[in-house]
Structure 1
Amino acid sequence: MKKGIHPDYRPVVFRDPSAGTAFLTRSTIGSAKTVEWGDGAVYPVVDVDVSSASHPFYTGRNRVLDSAGRVERFKQRYGRAGR
């Protein structure tokens, strides 16, 4: 690998404020905000909108769509006039 052309690969905390969870991993992403982790060290923190703790697929809280109402509206709008 060439020296000086790659971004720094360092520990970073990713935090999901909506779920109240955070995890420490390594990344090249940078952030001006920092947080003190459980080991006493200070790491850059990146706030994310969705994580596995808040995503409906992983939590099992899927939204149920009103598909029957949609089908009926479609049939009314585009159904054959002879039926």
Structure 2
Amino acid sequence: MRPRIHPDSRQVAFRDRAANALFLARSTATSAETIEWEDGNTYPLIDVEISSASHPFYTGASRVVDPAGRVERFERRYRHVTPARH
């Protein structure tokens, strides 16, 4: 890596408010708010809206979409409409 062209990365605490979870990761993000971690060190704290702790894909709370059901509803709704002939 070339010197002086990359931003400084450091340990940063991320808080997912939806899941009430904390993560410690390396980041270049900055924050005026800090938190004392379990190891006794103080890290910048960044609040996030969603993370792997609250995302439906990772938690298994995602819905299964039934595409066949949507096609059947469409056909029922527009059954009486005949296509225009050219």
- For the aligned pair, the TM-score class normalised by the smaller chain equals 0.7 to 0.9
Secondary structure, counterpart of 2:78 in structure 1:
helix
Q: Deviations over 1:13-49 (max 9, x none)?
A: 0110110111111110111111111111111011111
Closer/same/farther in 2, CA of residues 78 and 43 from structure 1, 3 Å limit: farther
**2:78 corresponds to:** 77
Q: Normalising by the residue count of structure 1, what TM-score does the alignment of the two structures yield?
A: 0.77
Paired residues for 1:56-75 under 5 Å = 56-65=56-65, 68=69, 70-75=70-75
CA distance in structure 2 between the aligned counterparts of 1:65 and 1:21, rounded to whole angstroms: 29
**2:3 corresponds to:** 2
Moved over 4 A (4+): 64-67
Unaligned segments of structure 1, at least 5 residues: none
Unaligned segments of structure 2, at least 5 residues: none
Secondary structure, counterpart of 1:45 in structure 2:
strand
CA distance in structure 1 between the aligned counterparts of 2:54 and 2:30, rounded to whole angstroms: 23
Closer/same/farther in 2, CA of residues 74 and 9 from structure 1, 3 Å limit: same
Percent of residue pairs bearing the same amino acid type: 55
User: Is the deviation greater in 47-56 or in 5-14?
Assistant: 5-14
1:2 partner letter: P
Greater Cα radius of gyration, structure 1 or 2:
2
CA distance in structure 1 between the aligned counterparts of 2:33 and 2:47, rounded to whole angstroms: 9
Secondary structure, counterpart of 2:6 in structure 1:
coil
